Amino acid sequence: MLRQRSRKGPLPPAQEHIDKLEKTVNDGDYYGAQQMYKSISSRYASAERYYEALDILESGACIQLEKGQVTCGAELAILFVETLVKGKFPYDDNTLDRVRKIYKNFPQISVPQQLEDDDDMQKLSEALGAAKTRVEVCSSFLKAAMKWSAEFGFHRQGSPEIHDMLAEYLYSESPELDMSRISLHFVRGNNPEKFASTLVNFMGKCYPGEDDLAIARAVLMYLSLGNLRDANYLMDEVKKQVESKELEYPESDLTEFIDYLLLTEVEIHPEKTYFLLSSLLKYLPWDELNKESNKRSTPCLKQNRNLGQTLHQISMSIVLSYSPKIGLLLNLPQLEGWKDLQVWPTSGLLTRLESWRPQLLDPLQHV
């Protein structure tokens, strides 16, 4: 009876609970503190005292993450976002700062590189498992925050800042890099300079033939979103950083094509860009590309056989953005079937681009 009566009584200031729970965590009772964080914050949320519920959850998430309790911290972080949704908090700089504060407490631990004996192998296996867990739970938290920011903010695809956070964490912590996934978030962010630095860093440790592929993918993703400004900025910044670090820029048919594509100025001459893309789709030897692509065995290349889809998406987005002007000039049926294409050619597969140049350029002369 006394326990029931205390639950119905007025809730004390949240800071009283925060101080007690922090002591519990510092004493090493992580599980006990976790259950109390969840139950107490739920009581404040049920009483529609959402601000105090958020304070409790933010404090709990941060201290659990600081103590290395990643799963516990991530669970409280996700509850923090769910409380934002329940309380219908608008997306603003103050709340974004709170999300960022929790994010910065997620551990960033390098995986050991030098292996000498069986004990090192065991340590490596454990480190890889821990890294995978960190990436999964941090991704869940940031994706939930993106969904909240899209619903209660003004960015239809979610906060650019949160996209940048996820891209950076994926790149720094993932045991197996998926540059396609990382690029997907960077192009929806607002930090192309950081994206360029990431690409330059990736060029120094990727498999041969993946560097130009990563650059091309990034530019095409920007263009598929209609973001010519950041596509150009990214290319200029990559070249500048490569030069300053005295690295070798990947000169290939693929990067040459990307340079030429940017020169067509999508926003100024959309018809030219469309004809260039549709001509590339028409003249690429897709049978050879499929056959050769299946021979490649590197993890990154297996994840990125989708250039045809990306080019088709860019082409059609240009058509939709500028129709009916372009629609009257184009033979749209020639693109039928490309939307299901699953192939990503590498620089080695585009060595014949030079011989196709007259065919690629010819349609542009009639625009």
Q: Tens digit of pLDDT for each residue in 166-192?
A: 999 999 999 888 888 999 999 999 999
Q: Give the residue-averaged pLDDT of 224-243.
A: 90
SS3 107: coil
Domain housing 65: 9-108+119-161
Q: Give the residue-averaged pLDDT of 205-230.
A: 83
The pLDDT of residue 216 is above 90: no
Q: Look at residues 277, 279, 278 and name the one whose alpha carbon lies nearest to residue 258.
A: 277
Distance CA 81, CA 149 (A): 10
Label residue 17 by pLDDT band (50, 70, 90). very high
Other Cβ atoms closer than 10 A to 176:
11
Least confident of 106-110, 121-125, 231-235, 357-361: 357-361
CATH code of the domain covering residue 65 = 1.25.40.10
Distance CA 246, CA 166 (A): 29
Specify if 142 maps to a domain: yes
Q: Give the residue-averaged pLDDT of 232-250.
A: 92
Specify if 52 maps to a domain: yes
Q: Which residue has the higher pLDDT, 233 or 4?
A: 233
Q: Give the residue-averaged pLDDT of 225-249.
A: 90
Q: Which pTM value belongs to this model?
A: 0.75
Q: Look at residues 86, 79, 96, 3 and name the one whose alpha carbon lies nearest to residue 34.
A: 79
Looking up tokens 């949160």, which residue turns up? 162
Nearest-Å Rg of the Cα atoms of the chain is 25
CA dist list (Å): 49 to 74, 237, 242, 312: 22, 47, 52, 50
Please enumerate in sequence order all residues whose Cβ is within 8 A of that of 315, keeping only pairs 6 or more positions apart, or say none: 274, 277, 278, 281, 335
Specify if 233 maps to a domain: no
Percentage of the chain exceeding pLDDT 70: 66
Distance CA 303, CA 215 (A): 15
Specify if 267 maps to a domain: no
The structural domain count of the chain equals 1
Which amino acid, one-letter code, is at 335?
L
pLDDT of residue 111: 61
- Is 41:57 a contact under the CB 8 Å cutoff? yes
Q: Which residue has the higher pLDDT, 253 or 244?
A: 244
Please enumerate in sequence order all residues whose Cβ is within 8 A of that of 259, keeping only pairs 6 or more positions apart, or say none: 235
The pLDDT of residue 329 is above 60: no
- Vertex 259 angle, CA 355 and 183, to 5°: 115
Label residue 227 by pLDDT band (50, 70, 90). confident
| pLDDT per position as a tens digit, 49-95 | 999 999 999 999 999 999 999 999 999 999 999 999 999 999 999 99
Distance CA 302, CA 217 (A): 14
Dihedral class, residue 137 (left if φ above 0, else alpha if ψ from -120 to 50, else beta): alpha
| pLDDT per position as a tens digit, 108-125 | 876 655 545 556 677 777
The pLDDT of residue 330 is above 50: no
pLDDT of residue 263: 72
Label residue 366 by pLDDT band (50, 70, 90). very low
Specify if 135 maps to a domain: yes
pLDDT of residue 254: 74
Other Cβ atoms closer than 10 A to 363:
16
Other Cβ atoms closer than 10 A to 336:
8
> Alpha helices of the chain — where are they, by DSSP H?
2-8, 14-26, 30-46, 50-66, 70-86, 93-104, 118-152, 160-173, 179-186, 192-203, 211-224, 228-244, 253-263, 270-283, 286-293, 299-302, 307-322, 353-361
pLDDT of residue 313: 56
Specify if 243 maps to a domain: no
Specify if 176 maps to a domain: no
SS3 113: coil
Specify if 148 maps to a domain: yes
Least confident of 127-131, 229-233, 344-348: 344-348
The pLDDT of residue 280 is above 90: no
Instruction: State the average pLDDT for the chain.
Output: 76
